[in-house]
């Protein structure tokens, strides 16, 4: 164990990392924005669980696992139960997870890889100013999953280096991998890939005890959880997986996932390329690439919808940042140097052996390179969404939020909303909601939307998003109807018109991209709701932030 004196530089740098991250968070991240549409779904589940209703989409109905971030949702519910608001709970977990992951990256590079202070610091800072806090701002639990992945990978790296790994280390690795899988189901795949990387580095025979402990943990605790969730929800996998994976393997989604993985960690890609320079480093490179590339590849099995800011691939970033230093050690002594002692800084030792002029040039060049790398990491916040207005604000004002807040005045009356937009509208309105796409509805996910299913609920409001309007009517051709989203919205539109619903509004800043609102005319508040919706003045379209036009005024009827 290093003495306290030897730890002081690292403790100081850790404090500097925390302060830098906090400074960046409160000066360059917009925490005034409302939840992103998809993040509001998890918030609804957490709120219901904290209220004692179970893991349900609609209070009083059967459980449904639409919140794929299971452990994040449960942890948020626990904090809500303690008195925190839903927003404070969700963002608090994400923010704390981000800070801890930054520290894990620094200490893993310093103590596991014997990396230099500057490059270990740069690795942590790269994550600090990246997209992590943007996920927190949008109310996603992505940093929580990344923290679990980083913790598991750190323990895996320790297992690779230990000649005779102690029982506690193998057990900690397995338990951390299990937690990763409990946060998100694909975490099981990621943990398995990390185990495979350990086996590649150690060899099969020296890894037998690690494999046994890993298997026992997953077969006992993991199976117990799996069987519980199967019994509780009625299906083995989270509900969205059945909807998002029904198309099978997609090369388009695979390519997008691999590009996201490369884009998020591009500055360290060169290190992995250099890792193939010799047989000695190639083995390490392949082992380190296994969980990164393998994890990104599995997303070819599900659609890319809801992948805000490449959040599905974000967990690969801390793994890459904790893996690059050993791959370039020895390439350039001045750049990284080398040392057998973990408490000497090889970079500074190398710089001390050159002239003052050379040293100054190297330092200036390294500072410039570091600034460019950090700028690149920050710049990823500029492409979180295809319609993002600016780097500091990922999305504009969203009329669905104001509409939901208006609908909240009618909550508690048993009203039902059928909608394709299952985030802000259901969460803030508090209405019973049918997610017509099926991410939060088991029947629709497995059987599709039908007229009979709508008849069971007789929704009071039908709302959907598509790319037509009264000015640009939908083209009911066979190829168009074969598209699942288009076919769904046409079913909703036809159902509303055939059952006498009133078209209250068709909001959009273009007639080619709109939100339809139909209201059933035969209940107590129908007249008021038709009036409120049709005269709604603050419906800002989410993709542009512009005040919408109500194209329903141009409707001539069916």
pTM for the model:
0.92
**What pLDDT, in 10s, does the model give residues 210-256?**
999 999 999 999 999 999 999 999 999 889 888 887 777 889 999 99
Per-residue model confidence (pLDDT) at position 3: 64
Per-residue model confidence (pLDDT) at position 350: 56
Per-residue model confidence (pLDDT) at position 130: 96
Per-residue model confidence (pLDDT) at position 219: 97
How many Cβ atoms are within 10 Å of 491's Cβ, its own excluded? Answer: 18
Check whether 452 has a pLDDT greater than 70: yes
User: Where do we find the tokens 């048993």?
Assistant: 414
Cα distance between residue 283 and residue 286, in whole Å: 5
The b/e string for 226-250 (b: 16+ C-beta within 10 A; e otherwise) is beebeeebebeebbbbbbbeeeeeb
Per-residue model confidence (pLDDT) at position 273: 94
Per-residue model confidence (pLDDT) at position 305: 82
Number of helices and strands in the chain (H, E) = 26, 6
Q: Cβ(401)–Cβ(374) under 8 Å?
A: no
**What pLDDT, in 10s, does the model give residues 261-277?**
999 999 999 999 999 98
SS3 558: coil
Per-residue model confidence (pLDDT) at position 558: 52
Per-residue model confidence (pLDDT) at position 289: 97
**What pLDDT, in 10s, does the model give residues 527-541?**
999 999 999 988 999
Per-residue model confidence (pLDDT) at position 337: 40
Per-residue model confidence (pLDDT) at position 183: 96
Rounded average pLDDT over 152-164: 96
SS3 540: strand
Per-residue model confidence (pLDDT) at position 417: 98
Rounded average pLDDT over 494-521: 97
* CB within 8 Å of 29: residues ≥ 6 apart: 133, 134, 136, 137, 392
**What pLDDT, in 10s, does the model give residues 372-422?**
999 999 999 998 988 888 887 888 889 999 999 999 999 999 999 999 999
Cα distance between residue 83 and residue 64, in whole Å: 25
Q: Hey, what are 31's tokens? A: 């925490």
């Amino acid at each position: 164990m290093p003495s306290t004196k030897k730890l002081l530089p690292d403790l100081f740098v850790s404090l500097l990392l925390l302060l830098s991250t906090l400074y960046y968070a409160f000066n360059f991240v917009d925490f005034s924005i409302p939840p992103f549409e998809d993040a509001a779904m998890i918030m609804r589940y957490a709120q219901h669980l904290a209220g004692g209703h179970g893991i349900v989409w609609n209070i009083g109905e059967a459980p449904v696992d639409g919140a794929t971030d299971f452990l994040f949702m449960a942890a948020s519910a626990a904090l809500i139960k303690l008195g925190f608001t839903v927003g404070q709970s969700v963002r608090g977990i994400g923010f704390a997870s981000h800070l801890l992951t930054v520290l894990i990256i620094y200490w893993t590079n310093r103590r596991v890889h014997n990396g230099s202070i500057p490059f270990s610091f740069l690795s942590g800072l790269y994550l600090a100013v990246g997209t992590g806090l943007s996920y927190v701002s949008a109310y996603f639990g992505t940093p929580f999953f990344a923290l679990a992945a980083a913790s598991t990978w750190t323990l895996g790296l320790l297992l690779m280096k230990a000649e005779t790994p102690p029982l506690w280390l193998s057990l900690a690795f397995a338990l951390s991998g299990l937690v990763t899988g409990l946060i998100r189901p694909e975490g099981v795949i990621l943990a398995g890939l990390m185990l495979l990387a350990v086996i590649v580095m150690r060899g099969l025979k020296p890894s037998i005890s690690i494999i046994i402990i890993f298997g026992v943990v997953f077969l006992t605790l993991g199976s117990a959880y799996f069987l519980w969730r199967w019994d509780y929800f009625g299906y083995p996998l989270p509900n969205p997986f059945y909807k998002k994976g029904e198309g099978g393997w997609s090369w388009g989604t695979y390519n997008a996932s691999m590009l996201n993985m490369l884009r998020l960690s591009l500055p360290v890609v060169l290190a992995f390329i250099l890792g193939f320079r010799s047989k000695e480093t190639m083995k390490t490179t392949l082992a380190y690439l296994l969980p990164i590339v393998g994890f990104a590849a599995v997303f070819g099995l599900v659609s890319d919808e809801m992948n805000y800011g490449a959040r599905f691939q974000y967990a690969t970033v801390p793994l890459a940042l904790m893996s690059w230093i050993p791959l370039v050690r020895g390439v350039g002594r001045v750049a990284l140097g080398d040392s057998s002692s973990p408490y000497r800084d090889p970079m500074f030792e190398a710089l001390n052996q050159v002239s003052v002029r050379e040293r100054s040039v190297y330092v200036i060049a390294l500072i410039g390179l570091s600034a460019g790398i950090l700028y690149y990491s920050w710049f990823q916040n500029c492409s979180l969404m295809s319609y993002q207005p600016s780097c500091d604000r990922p999305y504009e004002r969203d009329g669905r939020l104001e509409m939901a807040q208006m609908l909240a005045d009618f909550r508690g009356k048993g009203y039902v909303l059928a909608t394709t937009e299952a985030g802000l509208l259901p969460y803030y309105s508090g209405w019973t909601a049918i997610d017509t796409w099926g991410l939060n509805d088991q029947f629709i996910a497995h059987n599709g939307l039908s007229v009979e299913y709508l008849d069971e609920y007789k929704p009071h409001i039908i709302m959907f998003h598509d790319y037509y309007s009264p000015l640009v009517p939908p083209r009911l051709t066979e190829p168009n109807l074969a598209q699942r989203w288009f076919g769904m919205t046409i079913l909703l539109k036809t159902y509303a018109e055939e059952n006498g619903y009133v078209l209250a509004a068709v909001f959009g800043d273009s007639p080619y991209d709109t939100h339809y609102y139909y209201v059933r005319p035969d209940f107590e508040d129908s007249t008021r709701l038709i009036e409120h919706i049709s005269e709604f003045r603050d419906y800002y379209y989410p993709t542009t932030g512009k005040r919408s036009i109500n194209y329903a005024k141009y409707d001539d009827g069916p």
